[in-house]
Structure 1
Amino acid sequence: MCRMTEVSSLTGRLLVATPALADPNFDRAVVLLLDHDDEGSLGVVLNRPTPVTVGDVLAAWAELAGEPGVVFQGGPVSLDAALGLAVIPGDEGPLGWRRVFGAIGLVDLETPPELLGPALGALRIFAGYAGWGPGQLEEELTEGAWYVVESEPGDVSSPTPETLWRQVLRRQRGDLAMVATYPDDPSLN
């Protein structure tokens, strides 16, 4: 088995599920990649809000969570673990926040919220994450399961996550923008 010596990092980019992707965990999913290297990939699904409010599971963080103030299903892995993502503009972030790329970073949910609150531009809480082993994501990309596109800081905190798949595709150039009009059920066309 050959090991990849170098992988072009996709950290900070979006994986947008193609209509052909058959895995129900990722049907019309928009995944923000938080880490991507030759050891694997990790991201969160940005458009899977749950009915559970942030106040139900992390009451101290409820007032800082952006709209809708619910927990999102970040992916099928470790659904019992919470992960916080926040947008913090500027060069320096506060204690309890670690920059992943651009203005987006991970929040240490053990940090008292009052230390981070004044600096937060947007906070989103995810239950679970999406993960791929070494070479697994590259294989899925080769198979045509995902479109890889640039992310925008507002993607993390979209107030209408249920429309994010179409929004992200619509802002692309060329033929990819047309995919946004793909029907939910092509058999009804």
Structure 2
Amino acid sequence: MKPVQPPAAGELLVSTTQGTNDFFEHAVVLLLDCDRDGALGVTLNKLDETPLSAVLPEWVELVAPPRVLFSGGPVSQHGAVCVAKVADPIEEPPGWRRVIGDIGLLHLDTPVELAAGGYTALRIYAGYSGWAPGQLEAELAQGLWYRMDSREEDIFTADPSGLWRRVLRRHGGTPALLSTWPPDPQLN
């Protein structure tokens, strides 16, 4: 039996839960960091109730459509995380840290004028999703998540509400079947 690789930054976690009414129901999480201290990521398909213009108005025109604030997860919801695609993949601009390929984290203290020319796509999240050491591995062993490769169109999708179903369908097999279930299977 082939050993299971530990979760890695840049992967997607796609929730297998339905009907739980918790934050992670139908969630698609981009992992940003995974190490011996745990894991953290942002949820790509959950919109925040707070308008982006109310908290970071100078960034609104720089973010990818839809130009809204996303809810990255239930941890530190009053903080912000910015995922950005650098314009020049061989460059590492100040305030930016690579996660995978030309996509990384941008510190929101970066002057907006510098960000305007240095990035081709941005997304801002209120809070993040976090796991203590061993917690994510335990959830994966319980079958609470599918692990999938991320694509740029997942991270910066203009249609976040359909992301969960699209990612499951492209995976095929059982995940694709799960994508066809009605929002509330009990009403089927």
Q: Verify same fold: TM over 0.5.
A: yes
Match of 1:4 in 2: none
Aligned 8 A contact 2:31 2:41 in 1: yes
**TM-score with structure 2 setting the length:** 0.91
- Name the counterpart of 2:26: 28
Query: Is the 2:18–2:184 contact (alpha carbons within 8 Å) kept by the matching residues of 1?
Result: no
Among 62, 73, 83, the residue aligned to 1:64: 62
Cα 1:133–1:114 change in 2 (3 A) is same
In structure 2, the residue matched to 1:86 is 84
Q: Percent identity?
A: 48
Contact 1:54–1:65 (CA under 8 A) maintained in structure 2:
no
Whether the 8 Å contact between 1:95 and 1:115 is mirrored in structure 2 is no
From 7, 10, 13, the equivalent of 1:12 is 10
State the partner residue of 2:151. 152
Contact 2:19 2:184 (C-alpha < 8 Å) held by counterparts: no
Aligned to 2:108: 109
Alignment partner, residue 3 of structure 1:
none
Residue identity in the other structure for 1:36: C
Q: Cα–Cα, structure 1 residues 186 and 84, in superposed 2: closer, same or farther, change >3 Å?
A: same
SS at match of 1:121: strand
C-alpha separation between the residues in 2 aligned to 1:132 and 1:82?
A: 18
> 1:91: how far off?
1.6
Could you tell me whether the CA contact under 8 Å between 1:29 and 1:45 is conserved in 2? yes
By how many angstroms is 1:161 displaced? 0.4
Give the CA deviation at 1:67: 0.8
Structure 2 unmatched runs, 5+:
none
Q: Distance in 2 between the 1:80 and 1:176 partners?
A: 33
Give the aligned residue type for 2:67.
Answer: G
Partner residue in 1 for 2:176: 177
Tell me, what secondary structure is at the counterpart of 2:186?
helix
Cα distance in structure 1, aligned partners of 2:6 and 2:47: 30
For 2:46, which of 34, 48, 51 is the aligned residue? 48
Deviation (angstroms), 1:20: 5.1
Q: Residue 23 of structure 1: CA displacement? A: 6.4
Letter in 2 for 1:133: A
SS at match of 1:158: coil
Distance 2:77 2:174 in 1: 35
1:107-146 matches, cutoff 5 A: 107-146=106-145
What is the alpha-carbon distance in structure 1 between the residues aligned to residue 121 and residue 175 of structure 2? Answer: 28
Q: Residue 188 and residue 20 in structure 1: after superposition, are their counterparts in 2 closer, same or farther (change >3 A)?
A: closer
Matched residue SS, 2:48: strand
Q: How large is the RMSD of aligned CA atoms in angstroms?
A: 1.6
